[in-house]
Amino acid sequence: MKKKEKSKERTARTIAMKGGGYYSQRTRGAKDVIDNASEMLVEAADAIDLPDKGRAIVLADFGAADGGTSESALRKCIERVRMRFSDAQIQVSYTDLPSNDFSALFKNLLGFGSLTANTYLTDIENVYVNACGIGFHKQLLPDASLDIGFSATAMHYISEKPGPIENHVHMVGASSNTLTAYAAQAQKNWNDLLLARANELRPNGQLVMLNFGIDEEGRYLGHTGGVNMFDTFANLWTQMRDEGVISSDEFINTAFPQYYRTVEEFCAPFKNEDSLVYQAGLRLISARTGVVKCPYRKAYDESDGTMSAREFAQSYIPTLRSWSEAVFLNGLDDARPLEQRHLIVDDFYKRYEDRVASDPDGHAMDYVHCYLAVRKIADQS
């Protein structure tokens, strides 16, 4: 396998969410973000055109993980579509990488999971579901077939890491040429995935995208005024390197394939009339930022002392682990036995739990998103 292909494969492995339904069960904050923005999907349903006779209305959830966090919001969207077009068939396509736990997704949609026994698929007639195990940086649906595209907390992932990050594990801790390389990769990926969506969308089709980003005050996920989550990741991983638990190469090999865009970076392709995205017919309807407070921190603060610091840490760390574990696991040398790698990662998260339990002040994973609504214009002349 060529070096670049191996790099892409490793990057894909680090993007995987923790499976077995763990992701939805441990990411209440991600669901809160989607639920709070569900009206954007309803507005998109109100804006799409009457379908041609015999044509299904097509929705897609790009980067869906196990589908549990978006089910309620998609249900509201589907209900509005059904209200407008009572006889139309509705198709929902879920997309994610091949490493995704699609089994958990279908179990959730069929009500077999622990989240709910009733979903839009069990309750609403004439709705059909399929899945695609290919990343969203490429076109995934036929030309002019998509009515409403949705993505939440996913498109900050880049298709490949442009290189290691010195003394850190995330681009928010990068500087100089390293940060520039990540920014260039993210800009290319953003343009590529928007062009793919432009090809897929029907005229007057809509995109609703809730993306991790950096807001106007410089805040981002896990960095809203308290302890910086990504700095804590890097600090603990450095500690394990210095103790000899992991090697220097393993530390260097550990980096999140992510980039947090600013609002300006998100909006740039829609504002430049010379951009390929603008020329493909995509137009920005709205863009705003918002912060959703960490539900685990909120529960701790509102417990009036009935929840101990240890109990808070034990409830909080799993939500970090649900989306970050693969990065640390795959940063370790493949030559290590798999059981040993898992033990090292268990140790890493136990250290994080102990740190929070010893001093919980400032620890929280507040969600910082840019909320984008986009449409494809019907006439580009």
Lowest mean pLDDT among 94-108, 176-190, 233-247: 94-108
Asked whether the predicted pLDDT for residue 371 surpasses 60, the reply is yes
| Residue 52: per-residue pLDDT | 85
Q: Which residues contact 376 (CB under 8 A, 6 or more apart)?
A: 198, 201, 202, 203, 204, 205, 206, 280, 281, 282, 283
Task: At 360, give phi and psi (nearest 5°).
Answer: -75, -10
Asked whether the predicted pLDDT for residue 276 surpasses 90, the reply is yes
Single out the residue of 338, 371, 312, 7 nearest to residue 155, CA to CA. Answer: 371
Q: What is the pLDDT of residues 251-274, one digit of tens each?
A: 999 999 999 999 999 999 999 999
Q: What is the pLDDT of residues 109-118, one digit of tens each?
A: 998 865 557 8
Domain that holds residue 225: 3-376
Q: Which token pair is 207?
A: 């995109």
| Residue 22: per-residue pLDDT | 35
Domain assignment of residue 54, yes or no: yes
- Three-state secondary structure along the chain? CCHHHHHHHHHHHHHCCCCCCHHHHHCHHHHHHHHHCHHHHHHHHHHCCCCCCCCCEEEEEECCCCCCCCHHHHHHHHHHHHHHCCCCCEEEEEECCCCCCHHHHHHHHCCCCCCCCCCHHHHCCCEEEEEECCCCCCCCCCCCCEEEEEEECCCCECCCCCCCCCCCCCHHHCCHHHHHHHHHHHHHHHHHHHHHHHHHEEEEEEEEEEEEEECCCCCECCECCCCCHHHHHHHHHHHHHHCCCCCHHHHHCCCCCECCEEHHHHHHHHHCCCCHHHHCCEEEEEEEEEEECCHHHHHHHCCCCCCCHHHHHHHHHHHHHHHHHHHHHHHCCCCCCHHHHHHHHHHHHHHHHHHHHHCCCCCCCCEEEEEEEEEECCCCC
Banded pLDDT at 19 (limits 50, 70, 90): very low
Asked whether the predicted pLDDT for residue 23 surpasses 50, the reply is no
Q: Which residue has the higher pLDDT, 31 or 239?
A: 239
| Residue 30: per-residue pLDDT | 80
- Three-state secondary structure along 322-347? HHHHHHHHHHCCCCCCHHHHHHHHHH
Domain assignment of residue 206, yes or no: yes
Domain assignment of residue 381, yes or no: no
Global pTM value: 0.89
Count of CA atoms in the C-beta half-sphere (13 A) of 251: 19
CATH number at residue 24: 3.40.50.150
Domain assignment of residue 48, yes or no: yes
CA pseudo-torsion sign 175, 181, 182, 188: positive
Asked whether the predicted pLDDT for residue 9 surpasses 90, the reply is no
Q: Which residues contact 261 (CB under 8 A, 6 or more apart)?
A: 156, 186, 190, 211, 213, 214, 370
% of the chain beyond a pLDDT of 90: 84
Average of per-residue pLDDT across 131-144: 97
Residue pair 119/75 in contact by the 8 Å Cβ criterion: yes
Banded pLDDT at 14 (limits 50, 70, 90): very low
Domain assignment of residue 218, yes or no: yes
CA pseudo-torsion sign 114, 115, 120, 124: positive
In the predicted model, what is the mean pLDDT of the chain? 91
Q: What is the pLDDT of residues 329-338, one digit of tens each?
A: 999 999 999 9
Task: At 106, give phi and psi (nearest 5°).
Answer: -70, -35
Number of domains the chain contains? 1
Banded pLDDT at 27 (limits 50, 70, 90): low
Domain assignment of residue 265, yes or no: yes
The number of residues in the chain equals: 381
| Residue 115: per-residue pLDDT | 53
Asked whether the predicted pLDDT for residue 121 surpasses 80, the reply is yes
| Residue 54: per-residue pLDDT | 83
Domain assignment of residue 50, yes or no: yes
Asked whether the predicted pLDDT for residue 210 surpasses 60, the reply is yes
